[in-house]
Chain A
């Protein structure tokens, strides 16, 4: 078992390389368009830093919100009977397949001035950004954690119960640590999706600089208004790309226990 190569057909390497190139070449093309002469000025402009700070602030808040409500939802689905679990999983998947724009409109009808919960005055505020990001990112976290919890099964929980552990102790010391790889993967996906969120935010929270204009919206605005150079948009895009990759690497590096 010194080699983990197995017996995958060698000729599959060709489409595999095509896939890799397909993912990397556009990013290289983007980097090639960076105007390094104005890059520093572009990415350190107050507007850019404001958008970056807002993106990471709201993205982090949305990720925390997703963990607080998503992990319990994942546990509920994982421990339901097969039929109920299938229904719940379908319900969770709907926002995933929905165009984010439609999600934004739906959120507007719930929280907007005329909506059921319009009294909360949520739309077009910074919290609205967090709500929009949570809405689109939650399914990623729920599905990842649910899969991990379900595949672990209940045998370890039963063993822990027989040894006298209460439900909260079992959750804290057995269920969550065993699901840690799934939780980490879910958090990574969730954060990445929240940071990149555009459609729902644009419709539900708007595009107000400093209040709801996150990086994707700032990039869009810069790209549309830039005329010939588009230098600012490209610089911002590169900044978002670099910081997102950095955050993901940090989260990936932190793997509690590294169970198997």
Chain B
């Protein structure tokens, strides 16, 4: 067994995390979840900064942490797990080169060799020739590049990413995302993010954490395309309406009836299902019809492409900016059956 296998149980008053995640050797998995879901606790536990109340962490086939007898606790300096956070946390008194050379030198590489390797790493992250700069002389994006080079130069067994791009402007973030994707190829990585785009760009599989537990996991696009919770739906930017299967379609407590592309979403009636569809596939129509329902406008938000109308029953993307809706207005919404998917509710 290689890569990372972790079952992390951390119990605190009024807060419990019980999460099992795994990443194959060289695989990148993403972890998403609302604030307070236990993402930071998970990362701290993997890095060896937070004690476990139960479970174990196995890195590259070696148990580095086990809460039950025989107990194991490998201190952070010996487990080969490096965290890249939102703050690059470069050592302010060391040049970019010395920052990158820090890990190899601590591991016993002679200083001249480590410095030469550091210059190569800086080249690879797009900072060739800037090795002598001090961290305070670098921009935020450059600092994050140095941090990435420093993390990878230490030849970690596992890299943990904690929203490393969130403090950067979109252009810089996009450039670094591409560089990160190239450099992380072949490195076992756990990436915590709030951004579905990051998850799709960097990771093969996605774990969704809510209230200290994994609620959904699988290939990133499959999870985002079949959101099992309101959180995943909002991350994937999808409408998600809970209901039950009925008459070859779907219905909910408010009496709305929808049919989808699949002939029979469930084997029998009354199975809990969520109807899932994109706000861009919803149209505002004149009145009742098939796959249509009534709703009340809650708020209207201008977007780059037009506007998004939030209603009491789903979001609608409208590209025609000449028509406007105001909160409180009653509207009819309609979605094409081919655009609707039904996802089992757990």
Interface residues of A, Cβ cutoff 8 Å to B: 155-156, 158-167, 169, 173-174, 177-178, 180, 257, 259-260
Contact = CB atoms under 8 A, between A and B. Distances in A.
Most buried by B among A165, A166, A169, A259: A165
Contact of B102 (A163, A167, A260): A163
A161 B75 contact: yes
Given A158-B76, A161-B76, A163-B154, 16 more contacts: A155-B87, A159-B91, A161-B75, A162-B82, A162-B83, A163-B102, A163-B103, A163-B151, A164-B77, A164-B78, A164-B103, A165-B77, A165-B103, A165-B106, A174-B91, A259-B92
Contacts of A260: 92, 136
B19 to A, nearest CB: 20
Given A158-B49, A158-B76, A164 B92 contact: no
A155 B93 contact: no
Contacts of A163: 82, 102-103, 106, 150-151, 154
A178 B77 contact: no
B84 to A, nearest CB: 10
A64 B68 CA distance: 47
B89 A155 contact: yes
10 contacts: A156-B89, A156-B91, A161-B75, A162-B77, A162-B82, A163-B82, A163-B103, A163-B150, A257-B93, A259-B92
Contacts of A158: 49, 76
Interface of B: 47, 49, 75-78, 80-83, 87, 89, 91-94, 102-103, 106-107, 136, 150-151, 154
Q: Is the interface of A mostly helix, strand, loop or mixed?
A: helix
Contacts of B106: 160, 163-166, 169
Contacts of A259: 92-93
Nearest to A260: B92
Contacts of A165: 77, 102-103, 106
A148 B37 CA distance: 35
A183 to B, nearest CB: 13
Contacts of A161: 75-77
A163 to B, nearest CB: 4
B81 A164 contact: no
Most buried by A among B91, B94, B103: B91
A39 B80 CA distance: 67
Nearest to A257: B93
A15 B69 CA distance: 68
Nearest to B154: A163
Nearest to B155: A164
Contacts of A180: 93
Contacts of B83: 159, 162
Given A155-B89, A260-B92, A166 B102 contact: no
